[in-house]
Every structure is written in C-alpha cells, then in structure tokens.
Amino acid sequence: RNDRAVQPPTGRIEENHTPGWSPIQGAFWRAGGIAADFKHEEVLPRFTDEAIAVIRRHAAGTQSGRQPLFLYLAYPAPHTPWLPDQRFRGSSGAGLYGDFAAMVDAEIGRVLAELRRQRMFDRTLLIVTSDNGPVWYPQDVQRFGHDSAGGLRGMKADAWEAGHRMPFLVRWPEYAPAGAVCRQVICFTDVMATLADVWGLPLPENAGADSFSFLPLIREPQRAEPVRGPFVMKSGNGKLTLVRWGRWKLIDGHGSGGFTRPGFRRPEPGEPPGQLYDLAADPGETRNVYAQHPQIVRRLSALMKQIRDAPMSRKLPLPEPLPAPSNADSRR
C-alpha cells in the first residue's frame, strides 16, 4: 500500500498445479516466499476492497465532488491462479478460466457500483482492458466449446493477433457515444498521451516516446484519419518483430513468437522469409501473402526499421496509407 509492502514474506509456499490442466493453467502458482496471512483466493476481492476505499476517501475529502481522481486498478486476474469463489464455480461453461473471468466481471461491477453510490459514475472516464491474450489451447476449445481468442490466431505472447489484440472498452458520458465501435488500431502506450490530452496538458518533451492521443477517437469513433503511426512490437520470446499499418501486418520471421508452438522456426525451402497478412480480408491470419506483395513487404520493412531506430516514434510524420490488394493479387 502506498508503494510499500505491508508484510514481509516470512513463510514459504510450494508450487501448485491443477489436475486436468496444463502446468501453467488452473490453480497454478510458483514456489516462493509468502506473507503469513496471505491467501491466494482473497487477492481479487482485496484489490476491489482497496479500490473502493480509495474512491470513498476521495469522495469524503472533496466537498465539491469535482476534484480529480486517477485510479489505476491492475487486477492480477484472470491470470493464474484461477480461483473463482463458490458463487461462480460452474457458472460459465468454460471451466475454471471462464468462472474466474465471470468473477472478475463481478468485481469490476462492485467498483462501478461504488462510483454510482458516490455520484461519480457519470463524471468518470472509465477504461476496461487487458494486457495480453489467453493461455487457451486447441484442446481447451474442443473440451469446452469456447474459443477464448474469439477466432483470432494464437495465444499469449504470440506475434499473431490473439497474443496482443485486446478488448478496449471506454465509457465517458457526454463525450463517448454509447454503443459505438472503433476500428482503428491503438496501443496501451497511447493512454499516457490521451490522458494528457483530456486534461489539456502537453506531454513533456522526452515523455511518452511511443504515445499518441486517441481522444479524437473517443469523441468520434468512426473517424477515418489515423491518430497514430504504425504499431511495432516484439513478440513474447523476443525472436520476432511485427509491424501493423492499416490493413497490413508484417512479421519478420516464422513461428508464433510466443506460447504457440513452434515459437520460432527457420523458413522451409522455397518459403518466404517472413509472414504478411491482410487483416481486413483475413483477420484469422490463415493466408501468408508475403510472396504476393513484395512492395508492401518492402514498405513495411522500412517502417519497422524507421520506428526501431527513432528515439521517439510520436515525433515521426504519419506515413502514406498502404494500398489495398488488387483483384488480381487477391485471386492468386
């Protein structure tokens, strides 16, 4: 609390696994130090309790109710260990993972209910998102009839879309149109510039190297003009880099780059050196069109290098849009 540990890890706990799941799923935790009264199943509600206490202290100490509050609630869930309490066990049809995700939803609901009680709900910019894709194997999809990645390819840490393409929900009455869907690409790094924009503050010269404000998209979700430059990211195992610009995505090698096997492999004889996907036509990344679009590959490769070499990508000019594939290319 307040940037300080409240108890030392005086005890020790052994590694734990759940029968019927992979070693890194279920009620999995690693061996290590632990505080005397720490209980894994109490962590999620405790985070909520602490957040509610912050909201109450803020409301009690603010006579006008209009002093600003910034609350960053970083739940460690639905990461493992998956420990839904009895109210949620068996509720989802997707095993421990689905039940724990339902519990996360309920805990967020407790926070929103407190904002309503304190008459702050309709004056709050609320963002709900997650940090990476699921650890959910093909056998889990078959067993539960549930695709946690929603049809996207891969899982956590992958360069493929399921590794890093996350839900991003925004609620802001009077500013964000309710029920709207935005198709533009943003990145978590953009939250910094966006909040500065909300408060009408310029970013310091050397802050937010890769941060672009998406405030225009909150106000106008159907806006056509991009608010940020190309998105460049290393995969979880560090062996692949991807760049996304418009409908096109280039990965500079083969394999997943993350938890899906193989994480990395050499090209087969006659195979192109990397992966190119037209995400507008093929969001599931089922067709590698690297060989069919050499000009797109060259332009994306140049953009990737430019952004990697630049100290601050937010100061680079936005590149020209990449063209859609021609009908002839689409038939090949």
- Whether 66 shows a pLDDT value over 90: the answer reads no
SS3 at position 191: helix
Q: How far apart are CA 131 and CA 124, in angstroms?
A: 22
- Whether 291 shows a pLDDT value over 50: the answer reads yes
Q: What is the pLDDT of residue 64?
A: 56
- Whether 62 shows a pLDDT value over 80: the answer reads no
65: tokens are: 């109710």
Q: What is the pLDDT of residue 3?
A: 84
The mean per-residue pLDDT over the stretch 203-226 comes to 96
pTM of the model: 0.93
Asked if 257 contacts 246 with a C-beta cutoff of 8 angstroms, the reply is: no
Which CATH number applies to 231-323? 3.30.1120.10
- 2: confidence class by pLDDT, cuts 50, 70, 90: confident
pLDDT cut 90: percent of the chain above it: 93
The 8 Å CB, 24+ separation contacts for 207-213 are: 208/314, 209/311, 209/312, 209/313, 209/314, 210/312, 210/313, 210/314, 211/314, 212/186, 212/187, 212/314
The mean per-residue pLDDT over the stretch 20-38 comes to 96
- Whether 331 shows a pLDDT value over 50: the answer reads no
Residues 215-267 have pLDDT tens digits of 999 999 999 999 999 999 999 999 999 999 999 999 999 999 999 999 999 99
Q: What is the pLDDT of residue 326?
A: 79
Domain with CATH 3.30.1120.10 in the chain: 231-323
pLDDT greater at residue 1 or residue 311? 311
